[in-house]
Amino acid sequence: MASDLIILCFLLVGLSFSPVISTNSEGNALHALRRRLSDPTNVLQSWDPTLVNPCTWFHVTCDSENHVIRLDLGNSNISGTLGPEIGDLQHLQYLELYRNGISGKIPTEMGNLRNLVSMDLYENKFERRIPKSFAKLKSLRFLRMNNNKLTGSIPRELSSLSKLKIFDVSNNDLCGTIPVDGPFADFSMESYENNRLSGPELQGLVPYDFGC
Protein backbone atom coordinates (compact mmCIF):
# COMPACT_ATOMS: atom_id res chain seq x y z
CA MET A 1 0.00 0.00 0.00
CA ALA A 2 2.78 2.42 0.94
CA SER A 3 4.64 1.61 -2.27
CA ASP A 4 1.50 2.37 -4.29
CA LEU A 5 1.22 5.80 -2.61
CA ILE A 6 4.87 6.56 -3.38
CA ILE A 7 4.36 5.69 -7.06
CA LEU A 8 1.24 7.85 -7.19
CA CYS A 9 3.13 10.80 -5.69
CA PHE A 10 5.88 10.46 -8.29
CA LEU A 11 3.30 10.41 -11.09
CA LEU A 12 1.59 13.56 -9.78
CA VAL A 13 4.90 15.39 -9.44
CA GLY A 14 5.87 14.35 -12.97
CA LEU A 15 2.61 15.65 -14.37
CA SER A 16 2.99 18.97 -12.57
CA PHE A 17 6.32 19.60 -14.28
CA SER A 18 5.32 18.37 -17.74
CA PRO A 19 4.97 21.13 -20.35
CA VAL A 20 1.33 21.74 -21.18
CA ILE A 21 0.76 22.37 -24.85
CA SER A 22 -1.86 25.02 -25.51
CA THR A 23 -5.37 23.70 -25.97
CA ASN A 24 -6.04 26.78 -28.11
CA SER A 25 -6.38 25.52 -31.71
CA GLU A 26 -4.90 28.72 -33.13
CA GLY A 27 -1.91 28.48 -30.83
CA ASN A 28 -1.43 24.87 -31.88
CA ALA A 29 -1.62 25.88 -35.54
CA LEU A 30 1.01 28.59 -35.08
CA HIS A 31 3.27 26.24 -33.13
CA ALA A 32 2.98 23.73 -35.98
CA LEU A 33 3.97 26.52 -38.37
CA ARG A 34 6.98 27.35 -36.23
CA ARG A 35 8.14 23.73 -36.36
CA ARG A 36 8.09 23.85 -40.16
CA LEU A 37 10.14 27.04 -40.39
CA SER A 38 13.84 27.75 -40.10
CA ASP A 39 14.35 30.88 -38.01
CA PRO A 40 18.07 31.77 -37.82
CA THR A 41 17.47 35.21 -36.27
CA ASN A 42 15.02 33.96 -33.60
CA VAL A 43 12.07 36.03 -34.80
CA LEU A 44 9.75 33.34 -33.41
CA GLN A 45 11.50 32.97 -30.07
CA SER A 46 8.49 34.24 -28.12
CA TRP A 47 6.16 31.60 -29.59
CA ASP A 48 5.75 29.56 -26.41
CA PRO A 49 3.28 26.66 -26.86
CA THR A 50 2.76 26.32 -23.09
CA LEU A 51 0.81 29.58 -22.92
CA VAL A 52 -2.99 29.49 -22.92
CA ASN A 53 -3.20 31.44 -26.20
CA PRO A 54 -0.73 33.05 -28.62
CA CYS A 55 -1.88 36.64 -28.13
CA THR A 56 1.29 37.65 -26.26
CA TRP A 57 3.58 36.30 -28.97
CA PHE A 58 5.52 38.79 -31.09
CA HIS A 59 4.23 39.26 -34.67
CA VAL A 60 0.77 37.96 -33.68
CA THR A 61 -2.24 40.26 -33.22
CA CYS A 62 -5.50 39.18 -31.57
CA ASP A 63 -8.94 40.71 -31.26
CA SER A 64 -10.78 41.34 -27.98
CA GLU A 65 -11.85 37.69 -27.86
CA ASN A 66 -8.28 36.40 -28.16
CA HIS A 67 -8.73 35.23 -31.74
CA VAL A 68 -5.66 35.58 -33.97
CA ILE A 69 -6.52 38.16 -36.64
CA ARG A 70 -3.09 39.16 -37.93
CA LEU A 71 0.22 37.42 -38.58
CA ASP A 72 3.12 39.74 -39.45
CA LEU A 73 6.18 37.78 -40.57
CA GLY A 74 7.13 39.79 -43.63
CA ASN A 75 10.87 40.24 -44.29
CA SER A 76 11.76 38.04 -41.31
CA ASN A 77 14.54 35.90 -42.81
CA ILE A 78 12.54 32.69 -42.32
CA SER A 79 12.42 29.70 -44.64
CA GLY A 80 10.75 26.30 -44.78
CA THR A 81 7.23 25.34 -45.83
CA LEU A 82 3.60 25.95 -44.90
CA GLY A 83 1.41 23.07 -43.74
CA PRO A 84 -2.32 22.39 -43.63
CA GLU A 85 -2.49 23.61 -40.02
CA ILE A 86 -2.42 27.22 -41.19
CA GLY A 87 -6.01 26.70 -42.32
CA ASP A 88 -7.02 26.49 -38.63
CA LEU A 89 -6.48 30.24 -38.17
CA GLN A 90 -10.07 30.82 -39.17
CA HIS A 91 -10.35 34.33 -37.71
CA LEU A 92 -7.24 35.55 -39.54
CA GLN A 93 -7.70 38.79 -41.51
CA TYR A 94 -4.12 39.70 -42.48
CA LEU A 95 -1.41 37.24 -43.49
CA GLU A 96 1.97 38.87 -44.12
CA LEU A 97 4.69 36.41 -45.19
CA TYR A 98 6.39 38.46 -47.92
CA ARG A 99 10.15 38.62 -48.60
CA ASN A 100 11.22 35.37 -46.99
CA GLY A 101 12.51 32.04 -48.27
CA ILE A 102 9.35 29.98 -47.83
CA SER A 103 9.08 27.24 -50.44
CA GLY A 104 6.88 24.32 -51.48
CA LYS A 105 3.23 24.42 -52.42
CA ILE A 106 0.63 26.82 -51.04
CA PRO A 107 -1.65 24.64 -48.87
CA THR A 108 -5.18 24.11 -50.18
CA GLU A 109 -6.37 24.55 -46.58
CA MET A 110 -5.64 28.28 -46.79
CA GLY A 111 -8.99 28.48 -48.52
CA ASN A 112 -10.49 27.97 -45.05
CA LEU A 113 -9.35 31.45 -43.96
CA ARG A 114 -12.80 32.89 -44.72
CA ASN A 115 -12.16 36.22 -42.92
CA LEU A 116 -8.95 37.00 -44.76
CA VAL A 117 -8.75 40.55 -46.16
CA SER A 118 -5.09 40.64 -47.24
CA MET A 119 -2.63 37.91 -48.17
CA ASP A 120 0.95 38.88 -49.04
CA LEU A 121 3.08 35.93 -50.15
CA TYR A 122 5.29 37.80 -52.61
CA GLU A 123 9.07 37.36 -52.94
CA ASN A 124 9.30 33.82 -51.61
CA LYS A 125 9.94 30.48 -53.34
CA PHE A 126 6.42 29.06 -53.50
CA GLU A 127 5.96 26.42 -56.20
CA ARG A 128 3.19 24.55 -58.02
CA ARG A 129 -0.34 25.81 -58.58
CA ILE A 130 -2.41 28.61 -57.06
CA PRO A 131 -5.07 26.74 -55.03
CA LYS A 132 -8.59 26.86 -56.46
CA SER A 133 -9.74 26.92 -52.83
CA PHE A 134 -8.79 30.63 -52.73
CA ALA A 135 -12.17 31.19 -54.40
CA LYS A 136 -13.72 30.68 -50.93
CA LEU A 137 -11.97 33.79 -49.57
CA LYS A 138 -14.94 36.08 -50.19
CA SER A 139 -13.60 38.91 -47.96
CA LEU A 140 -10.24 39.06 -49.75
CA ARG A 141 -9.24 42.48 -51.08
CA PHE A 142 -5.46 42.17 -51.55
CA LEU A 143 -3.70 39.10 -52.98
CA ARG A 144 -0.03 39.44 -53.88
CA MET A 145 1.93 36.36 -54.94
CA ASN A 146 4.44 37.94 -57.31
CA ASN A 147 8.09 36.88 -57.51
CA ASN A 148 7.68 33.20 -56.67
CA LYS A 149 7.91 30.00 -58.74
CA LEU A 150 4.21 29.33 -59.23
CA THR A 151 3.13 27.25 -62.23
CA GLY A 152 -0.11 26.24 -63.93
CA SER A 153 -2.96 28.57 -64.82
CA ILE A 154 -4.69 31.29 -62.82
CA PRO A 155 -7.78 29.57 -61.37
CA ARG A 156 -10.85 30.88 -63.18
CA GLU A 157 -12.73 30.35 -59.90
CA LEU A 158 -11.03 33.47 -58.50
CA SER A 159 -13.35 35.54 -60.70
CA SER A 160 -15.97 35.14 -57.97
CA LEU A 161 -13.92 37.25 -55.52
CA SER A 162 -15.99 40.39 -55.93
CA LYS A 163 -14.11 42.38 -53.24
CA LEU A 164 -10.65 41.76 -54.73
CA LYS A 165 -8.95 45.10 -55.50
CA ILE A 166 -5.26 44.20 -55.83
CA PHE A 167 -4.01 41.05 -57.56
CA ASP A 168 -0.36 40.51 -58.51
CA VAL A 169 1.14 37.28 -59.85
CA SER A 170 3.93 38.84 -61.90
CA ASN A 171 7.33 37.15 -62.12
CA ASN A 172 6.23 33.52 -61.81
CA ASP A 173 5.95 30.71 -64.37
CA LEU A 174 2.19 30.78 -64.90
CA CYS A 175 0.63 29.72 -68.19
CA GLY A 176 -2.76 29.68 -69.90
CA THR A 177 -4.98 32.71 -70.32
CA ILE A 178 -5.99 35.53 -67.97
CA PRO A 179 -9.53 35.60 -66.52
CA VAL A 180 -11.65 38.50 -67.75
CA ASP A 181 -14.71 38.23 -65.50
CA GLY A 182 -15.38 39.79 -62.11
CA PRO A 183 -12.53 41.81 -60.60
CA PHE A 184 -10.12 40.68 -63.32
CA ALA A 185 -11.72 43.15 -65.69
CA ASP A 186 -9.98 45.96 -63.75
CA PHE A 187 -6.45 44.62 -63.16
CA SER A 188 -3.62 46.05 -65.26
CA MET A 189 -1.37 43.83 -67.37
CA GLU A 190 1.49 44.65 -64.99
CA SER A 191 -0.15 42.23 -62.56
CA TYR A 192 0.72 39.36 -64.92
CA GLU A 193 4.04 40.33 -66.52
CA ASN A 194 7.01 37.96 -66.77
CA ASN A 195 4.99 34.74 -66.97
CA ARG A 196 4.08 32.45 -69.88
CA LEU A 197 0.49 33.69 -70.02
CA SER A 198 -1.16 33.89 -73.44
CA GLY A 199 -3.16 37.05 -72.77
CA PRO A 200 -6.79 37.65 -71.77
CA GLU A 201 -9.20 34.76 -72.09
CA LEU A 202 -11.09 34.62 -75.40
CA GLN A 203 -14.19 32.84 -74.20
CA GLY A 204 -15.40 30.20 -76.62
CA LEU A 205 -12.46 30.72 -78.97
CA VAL A 206 -9.35 29.59 -77.08
CA PRO A 207 -9.13 26.98 -74.28
CA TYR A 208 -8.69 28.60 -70.89
CA ASP A 209 -5.44 26.72 -70.24
CA PHE A 210 -4.08 27.43 -73.72
CA GLY A 211 -0.30 27.29 -73.66
CA CYS A 212 0.03 25.20 -70.50
Contact 52, 20 (CB under 8 A): no
- In angstroms, the CA 90 to CA 93 distance is 9
How many other CB atoms sit within 10 Å of the CB of residue 110? Answer: 22
- In angstroms, the CA 200 to CA 134 distance is 20
pLDDT at 21: 41
pLDDT at 74: 97
Contact 68, 60 (CB under 8 A): yes
pLDDT at 17: 38
User: For residue 118, what is the enclosing H or E element?
Assistant: strand 118-120
pLDDT at 194: 95
60, 89, 90, 160, 198 from 110: Cα distances, Å: 18, 9, 9, 17, 28
CATH architecture for the domain at 60-197 = Alpha-Beta Horseshoe (3.80)
Question: Which ranges of 56-110 does DSSP label H, i.e. alpha helix?
Answer: none
Give the start-to-end residue ranges of the domains of the chain: 60-197
pLDDT at 185: 87
Q: Residue 176: left if φ>0, alpha if ψ -120 to 50, beta else—which one?
A: left
At 102, the amino acid letter reads I
pLDDT at 180: 87
Q: What is the pTM of this model?
A: 0.82
Q: What is the pLDDT along the chain (212 residues), one digit of tens a residue?
A: 444 544 444 444 443 333 434 447 899 999 999 999 999 999 999 998 887 789 999 999 999 999 999 999 999 999 999 999 999 999 999 999 999 999 999 999 999 999 999 999 999 999 999 999 999 999 999 999 999 999 999 999 999 999 999 999 999 999 998 898 889 888 999 999 999 987 676 554 556 666 67
